[in-house]
Amino acid sequence: AQRVTQPEKLLSVFKGAPVELKCNYSYSGSPELFWYVQYSRQRLQLLLRHISRESIKGFTADLNKGETSFHLKKPFAQEEDSAMYYCALKKAGTALIFGKGTTLSVSS
Amino acid sequence: SAVISQKPSRDICQRGTSLTIQCQVDSQVTMMFWYRQQPGQSLTLIATANQGSEATYESGFVIDKFPISRPNLTFSTLTVSNMSPEDSSIYLCSVEQTSETQYFGPGTRLLVL
């Protein structure tokens, strides 16, 4: 069965500290992996997708097929990064399957 | 990316009644989906809205409770029927374009008393 696991419900860091939001997935095949972010009082929006291999707002994520992981990283957290982050998986022609989400709290 | 709007943005309803949520997209899209986000929870897929045919429902969701229409490539409705307090959630419309990336509407916040 397809499944996305985000083990941390809440991650609290200080401004300037490195951030790693963990995501593991279970899927037999070649899935597409995504990170979505939801800032307070805003709609859910795409942060990045593994196929693009790009950095958005300083965040990167590398797909590790051996460990079935797609962790989201940022070297120096900013207060404006505080939000809910969802890891999601999909295969072509189907809808996204979401993890439970991790709340990132960055304080000064 | 597509611009997605939902109506209503929020509503408070009495148990036993029904509410229809509309999703409008500013361009034609290949796929439309409906999700539910219960308080403090992640997003759960309700169904895929198919243009010109019956929606495809996920396990645990049935057409009698959540009838869906999709008359064309830019519009869909989700009805929450015979509501109970357990239906209090945020309901989200999502669309997928040719890039196979999904975009989300602002959501409809529903409270059932």
Alpha carbon of B52: minimum distance to chain A alpha carbons (Å): 17
Q: Which residues of A touch B96 (CB under 8 A)?
A: 95
Query: What confidence tens digit (pLDDT) does each residue in A55-71 have?
Result: 889 999 988 989 999 99
Of residues B31, B42, B107, nearest to A99 (C-beta): B42
Which residues are CB-contacts of A46 (< 8 A; sequence separation ≥ 6)? Answer: A34, A35, A36, B101, B102, B103
Q: What is the largest CA-CA distance in chain B?
A: 40
Q: Which pLDDT band, with edges at 50, 70 and 90, does A91 fall under?
A: confident
Q: Check B42 against A86: CB less than 8 A apart.
A: yes
Q: Which pLDDT band, with edges at 50, 70 and 90, does B48 fall under?
A: very high
Check residue B91 and give its pLDDT: 98
Q: What integer is the mean pLDDT of B73-100?
A: 93
Q: Check A92 against B100: CB less than 8 A apart.
A: yes
Q: In residues, how long is chain A?
A: 108
Q: Which pLDDT band, with edges at 50, 70 and 90, does B61 fall under?
A: very high
Q: What is the enclosing helix (H) or strand (E) of B21?
A: strand B19-25
Alpha carbon of A82: minimum distance to chain B alpha carbons (Å): 17
SS3 category, A10: strand
Identity of the residue numbered B74: T
Summary mean pLDDT of chain A: 92
DSSP one-letter string for B39-76:
TT--EEEEEEE-TTS--EEPTT--TTTS-EEEEETTEE
CA-derived radius of gyration, chain A: 13
Q: Which pLDDT band, with edges at 50, 70 and 90, does B39 fall under?
A: confident
Torsion sign across C-alpha atoms A74, A70, B43, A9: negative
The angle formed by the CA atoms of residues B50, B52 and B58, to the nearest 5 degrees, is 25
Check residue A53 and give its pLDDT: 75
Q: Check A34 against B92: CB less than 8 A apart.
A: no
**Cβ-contact A103, A9 below 8 angstroms:** yes
CB pairs under 8 A between A and B: 43
Q: The tokens of B81 are what?
A: 């029927």
Q: Which residues of B76-99 are buried (b: 16+ CB within 10 A; e: fewer)?
A: bbbebbebeeebbbbbbbbbbbee
Check residue A52 and give its pLDDT: 79
Q: What is the DSSP letter of A79?
A: G
